[in-house]
Amino acid sequence: MSIYYILQDQRKCIGCLSCEVHCKSNKGLPLGPRLGQIIPVGPKMVGDVPRQAFVFMPCFHCGEPWCVPACPTGAMRQRPRDGIVYVDHTLCVGCKSCITACPWGAPQWNPETGKVVKCDYCMDRLDQGLKPACVSKCVTHCLEFGKMEEVQRDRRQHFAKLVAFELDKVVSAR
């Protein structure tokens, strides 16, 4: 598993899809591939109010990825220092084995290059001390990027505060 994680605060996400365009415009992608996709679910009635969820689906950067061993050329690889799963485009031959192997649909087809493209947490930006494009420009700042343990800690603290003082919100948020 990559040491990083993107946490999505469903209460703040408004499903505006800006993260998808931030990603595509940053990587200069053509029509087709959607590396981090928002999947809207609902609306459905929860009590007397309608609720909808917008589930953010980037690559999970698995600890033991299905895609890496499936790749016959070594193009799909895992960065040793932080576990980011990425494609070396010079080695990709467009065989689509990784697309077949991934249970989550993370590797995407780039029809312009005839190769695979996937979420790499914008590792070129990370290496400059920046955050992934989707997180940097999220309209409501509902996406949070960080090391696994930091994000997890933040999440529990936030939840604890809600449970302590605003239990009704915890119930109505989903």
Burial (Cβ within 10 Å: 0-12, 13-18, ≥19) of residue 84: buried
Binding status of residue 83 toward another protein by CB under 8 A? no
Work out whether the CA dihedral 9, 63, 34, 40 comes out positive or negative: negative
Binding status of residue 18 toward another protein by CB under 8 A? yes
How far is 51 from 44, CA to CA, in rounded Å?
6
Min dist CB 42 to another protein, Å, is: 7
Binding status of residue 73 toward another protein by CB under 8 A? no
Query: Reduced to 3 DSSP states, what percent helix, strand and coil does the chain have, rounded to the nearest 5?
Result: 30, 25, 45
Q: Which of 3, 21, 93, 170 binds another protein (CB under 8 A)?
A: 21
Min dist CB 2 to another protein, Å, is: 23
Residues that bind another protein (CB under 8 A): 12, 14-18, 20-22, 24-26, 30-32, 42-43, 48-52, 136-141, 166, 172
